[in-house]
Structure 1
Amino acid sequence: MQIKPSANIRQNYNEIAELCRATGEPIFLTKNGEGDLVVMDIDTFTRREKMLKLREELLAVEEDRLAGRTGYTPDELERYLDGIIAGA
């Protein structure tokens, strides 16, 4: 984890951007010694967003399972989709 003063981004934008890309880690910026912002490259941000979405979906499936709600087996899903396609 990198921590930098917020003035550093104004003075050394290219250095901060390269550090983000090279490490794939967010950089924490401080203002007056307190946490202020987090900066990361777009690839890292996109990857984290996809991971969060997948975790949300997995939690929803697990909640359904624990509540006794059932889903479909792959074979059931295939038959269902085949029926829809045949009816179209």
Structure 2
Amino acid sequence: MSDQSFQTFSLSRRTGTGTTYAERVYGFLVEHTPQPICDDCIAKATNIARENINQLTSILGLTRDFGKAEGTCAICKGNKRVTRSQRYA
């Protein structure tokens, strides 16, 4: 997924920090490479609604830079769908 297409993602609403939701989620997952993290924990850490996180991670999970699968979240230890950055692992 190129940086240019990532920046034009449909959930590009700007936050108070001047970054888009997509940029915040992308950055959070890259910072936590290669840990698998669930949508609930991503939502809490980024202060973005869970519904928006699910849309973003579903798209990211289709790229070669990220993976989305059943697993154990590195933060809450719950067994659920998790997303992880694979690019920088």
Q: By percentage of residues, which structure has more helix? A: 1
Give the alignment's TM-score, normalised by structure 2: 0.28
**Structure with more relative contact order (C-alpha pairs < 8 Å, separation 6 or more):** 2
Give the alignment's TM-score, normalised by structure 1: 0.28
The structure with the larger Rg is 1
